[in-house]
Each structure stands twice: as structure tokens, then as C-alpha cells.
A and B are shown apart, each in its own frame.
Chain A
Amino acid sequence: MRPEPATHALLRIAHPRALADAGTIPAWAAAALARAPWVVVRRARRRDGLIPVGVRGLKRAERLAAWLPADAVLECLTPSELAARGGWRSSARAAQVPALAALEAIAKLMRGYELDWGPCGSVGFELASGAATATGKSDLDLMVEARAALPRTVAVGLYAALARLPVRADVLLEGPLGAVALAEYTAARPPVMVRTADGPRLVDDPWDGAAAAA
């Protein structure tokens, strides 16, 4: 057994029928799951023991919030695990997808800062499922574990280094209260928005009270 899958984790399921609300899912979602039977853990609380998951369709507007029984999870891959596997190194698609091609430089950068990180979004989905999902225009969504406060010098350095890459990289810092955008933490004065399992909140310090919450 492994702990409850965290937000961003990709879960493989046997069939669209594995979803708790399978009877009500739209045709595009069933088609997407038939193509690649993977769902992503949403940032929400469990409901009646069910895991909150999202189904990704081909279009941006095709995103479905669904629920999955824990015993329907066949495989779980976190963004950190995807980063550790380095699947982009053997992907023939890196030539067409700059977001995949940029991962090697990002891995090096994150190693330099000793950060635990991983790809999310379309790139994470593609690396987990093996199904072509990212496109030539895809941004690169990344998560960085930040249980303790990320020093501002590190945040600013990381943000500046990412800005020099040929793709747009969006980083979420995963802290004890929830996720904060690196762009906002770096640039804006407080408050900043934290995405929590109970919805977004504005806080002055995303790591305040971290010890109590941990």
C-alpha cells in the first residue's frame, strides 16, 4: 500500500467504468479514457472515501471532475517519480514538443537548487501514459515540493532561470497550506493566493503556521 495519492498524481484505471460516477460522464471523457486510461488527482477533499480526479480531453474546455474508488487505482505516478524516470530522454516527440525538450535543462536546474520537482499538466500526462498529449504550443506546468519556506533568493533565481528557457514554465510551489505560483511569490507583495483542497485563499505568508499544520 502507498499513502493517499496527492494532487497532480496520475492514476491508471482499468476502464472508464472504474469511475464512481461512470454512468454520467460525457462521451468525450469516455473516448479520452479509452485512448489513455489515466486520470489526474484534483486538489479537493475526498468524498465518501472517493478520490477526486480529473479527466483530460483533447480540447482545453474538455476537463471533467470525477470521483474514483481507491481500489480502482492500478498504478500511481507522481510528478517527482516522472522526473526521476526521465522519460523525456527516450521520447521521440521531444523534437516536435519544446516543452518535452526543455525538461533536461529543467532537471539540471532543479538539481542545482536541490529541489524535489516534477512535470504536471499535458507533459506529465504524456510521460505517465505514453499517449501524445502535449503539443508544440504547450506550456510546461511544473510542481516543486516546498514543505518548508522556499528562500526568496532561491525563488527569484529559479524564476529568472526558467524565464530564459525557450518554453513558458509555470511552477506551483507545493507548501503545507497548498500551492502558490512561483511567479506570484517572486513578484507580488502579499497577499498571495494559495490553492487549497477547500478552494483558493489569500494569505500573507504561505508558510506561516506550517509547523502547526504539518
Chain B
Amino acid sequence: MERLSFTYPAREAVARRVHVGVVGSGDLEVLLEPSADEDAHVAVTTSVEGFATVWKHVLDRFFTRFEGAAAIEINDFGATPGVVLLRLEQAVEALRA
């Protein structure tokens, strides 16, 4: 297990809490809720060690399009970057629904 954390500047408040994804091989779950401060915080727990740079790259890409002040908890079970981005986008969609 490896734990990683990231902080990004945010512009708008997040209104509620959403949960998407599943606990399972090659997948991940995303818990997104309002941040305690004005920034966005991401806490990643992953079963695959040694990929901090890849995580940063994927999250940098996500935060070019998302500006919510969210506390995002990610529990990863070896998802590909494509699956990570899709689940994050699904969480944002769920937030808007």
C-alpha cells in the first residue's frame, strides 16, 4: 500500500458528497466531498507502489477541467490512468446530477 496526497487551487464550492466506482481489480473508488478549506485535496491509497509521477500527471490533467474545492479520497486497486480519469469524471457528473 502506498499513500499519496496532492493539493490543487479551487474556484468554486462543492455542494455535496458523491461516491463512484468499485473496490475490485483494475478499478478504484472515488469519494468526493466538500473540502474543509478553499483548496482541492486528493488523498490516494493505492495497492500498486511506485507510480507517484503517473498519479500526479493524471490528476494535473483532471484539475485543468475541474475547479471545485473538493476533498477527494481515492482507493485504487491497480486501475489504469484511463480508468482513473473516467471515474473522476463520473464523480463530477454525479455531483451535477
Chain A residues with CB under 8 Å of chain B are: 59-61, 121, 139, 141, 170, 181, 183-184, 187-188, 191, 193, 195, 199-202
Known contacts A60-B48, A202-B86; is-contact A139 B22 (Cβ 8 Å): no
Evaluate contact between A193 and B86: CB separation under 8 angstroms: yes
Evaluate contact between A139 and B50: CB separation under 8 angstroms: no
A-B contact pairs, 6 of them (CB 8 A): A170-B25, A184-B22, A187-B22, A193-B83, A195-B83, A200-B83
Complexed CA–CA distance, A211 and B24 (Å): 28
Evaluate contact between B22 and A183: CB separation under 8 angstroms: yes
Min C-beta distance of A56 to chain B, whole Å: 12
Note all chain A residues with C-beta closer than 8 A to B90.
Answer: 191, 193, 202
Complexed CA–CA distance, A188 and B87 (Å): 13
Chain B residues with CB under 8 Å of chain A are: 20-27, 47-51, 78, 80, 82-83, 86-87, 90
Evaluate contact between A141 and B25: CB separation under 8 angstroms: yes
5 tightest A-B contacts by CB?
Answer: A170-B24, A183-B22, A184-B22, A200-B86, A170-B25
Note all chain B residues with C-beta closer than 8 A to A195.
Answer: 26, 83
Evaluate contact between A199 and B24: CB separation under 8 angstroms: no
Known contacts A193-B86, A193-B87; is-contact A60 B47 (Cβ 8 Å): yes
Complexed CA–CA distance, A201 and B24 (Å): 17
Min C-beta distance of B94 to chain A, whole Å: 10
Taking a contact as CB atoms closer than 8 A, the residue among B24, B26, B27, B50 that contacts A61 in the complex is: B50
